Amino acid sequence: MTISDDTWAALRALAIEAMDRAYAPYSKFPVGAAALVDDGRTVSGCNVENAGYGVTLCAECGLVSELVRSGGGRLVAFTCVGAGGQVLVPCGRCRQLLWEHGGPELLVELPSGVHPMTEVLPEAFGPQDLQVGARA
Ligand code: THU
């Protein structure tokens, strides 16, 4: 699937809007994430921190929650930005979230360019692996 430059720009704009609403009083590192869904919807999220630092929700958590709440589907293009609107890399845990809801073909914008999930999370653990290793 090809994503136009205009679509990437629109996703970055949506991510910046989300980042502006982040709750990040502890790290002072607001993050906004936005994605295109396979039915044409867009979803977004921002990080929400907590005084119990480990309880922090990454921007991708909010995005995935909105995806599911608004009807599900598969993520096809994803970006996330920091305070200056600069494109960020998603953390390891969030790469796993993106794999679950985007699969191998999800296109992820990184500072180095657009990459498929197979490059962002090589040899990912997914639903099929649960069947392989399950106890009878
Ligand atoms: N953060 C995200 O929201 N997403 C990521 O993929 C990387 C990290 C947030 C979590 C925390 O609120 C802040 O960035 C600093 O780690």
The CATH number assigned to the domain holding 25 equals: 3.40.140.10
Per-residue model confidence (pLDDT) at position 1: 83
pTM: 0.97
Position 18 pLDDT exceeds 90? yes
**Residues identified as active-site:** 60
> In a mutational test of the pocket of ligand 1, which residue from 55, 58, 81, 110 has the highest number of ligand atoms less than 8 Å from its CB?
58
- The count of structural domains within the chain is 1
Task: DSSP letter for 91, please.
Answer: P
For residue 99, the enclosing domain spans 5-133
What strands, in cross-sheet order, belong to the sheet with 32-37?
Answer: 42-46, 32-37, 75-81, 107-110, 113-116
Position 133 pLDDT exceeds 90? no
pLDDT, tens digit, 9 for 90 and up, residues 56-114: 999 999 999 999 999 999 999 999 999 999 999 999 999 999 999 999 999 999 999 99
Q: With cut-offs at 50, 70 and 90, classify the pLDDT of residue 135.
A: confident
Position 28 pLDDT exceeds 90? yes
Helix (H) or strand (E) holding 107: strand 107-110
